[in-house]
Structure 1
Amino acid sequence: MADRKHIPQDTKLRLFADAAGHCQRPDCLQPLFPAEMGGDKHIAEMAHVIPHGEKGPRHEERPAGEFEADSFENLLLLCPSCHTTIDKNSPSYNRSTLLMWKSNHLAALANKQGVYAYEERSQVRSAITAAMAENKAIHTRLAPCEGTSFEYDPESESANTWLHRMRNVILPNHFRVQRIITANQHHMDEAEHEAFAQYQEHVRGLVERHVCGVAGRAIRYPVQIDGIFA
């Protein structure tokens, strides 16, 4: 049997960001931070497309030559039920099917959530305004301020409330805004493309910090994004 190694932290971060908080099986897509669990605990499982070693689901599809089972390309994020399903019935879920799920995940999620390519910039603006306004209101009311007791007591009620809102409201809103903007990039000018790139990196940093527990990697929110499509 091949040696089992820990999945690298950077790979875990990419997986959570790539999944946008939802199971990557297209006929599931359930939130991986369920509201019934308070929205601050995830049920995500990292599923191997091709397993370690010469046994396990889809082992016969192992590519020739060097192969890293714990690479980002060989993993997807699923809910526990879907993870069990693909491994217990592997002939129905081959490598190409699982890789297609992963490749098409954001498009499938956008379709489920009613994300469209609009004809007018004003329509795009209207589609993202509510989510952006909700995030700003939560941030203004609950975000920690430098030098406050909140900053030094991560177990406080205020800190727990902030983390809950971040995982259950702010990040899902960010993911939705990103999908809408991505579907409507044909309306953007050069400055908006640059602002969007910075916004995407900001959201990746939030996922790393508030989902994966990696501190200090988020860049500041690019204020230019507030005026996108205006």
Structure 2
Amino acid sequence: MAISRPKIPSELRRRVLIEAGHRCAIPTCKSTPVEIAHIIPWAKVRKHEFKNLIALCPTCHTRFDDPHGPIDRKAMRQYKANLNPLLSISLANRDGQANMLAAYQELRARLAEWLPIEVEYVAIKSRLSSSREKIEKIKSDAVDKLAWAIGAVADFQSAWGESEVSDLAGAIFYHVADWCDEVESAPFPLPEDLKQRDILEEISEASADLHLMVCEELSM
């Protein structure tokens, strides 16, 4: 027997629309009018949750629902993560919300500065033509950015306390840090297994989950 699908509560629908600015959440589209889509199909989750809902125009919604279409679930999760959290978060500092959001924004900024340098370091250390001076220069830059990232992670975990969000942020950081240690201790040029690892891809889903968890926790 088929399970009837309940309506999305009006308040939840309003939050999803505000998050996307009442436009299609796909940045190259931004069309109106919009519909509310489930990132993981309702038939699987059987519930309506903010973190799993996104505003899409009818055309993008149809493309997403097409199993052979160009928009997959991973892309849709990234579109959700890219939405501006300030649109859906009250900045009243109740229970330290403003401090928690500020710590998250700082964490994102520091990771955005650190990770590209580490990726560049891998690329340079992978090439036989790279000089020792060039390798040492990019290594020094990476160490500087790492120091800032460590501070941002510590501040984030202090602001968020003992929580699933704090644990996930730490797990993302230490996953990258372990990779950096492998790169640093590996011989020059780097072996193929390290050269071929895509660290940004490895943390992409966890990073999207972190963003959605932050938005969900602070959207009160």
TM-score where L is the length of structure 1: 0.34
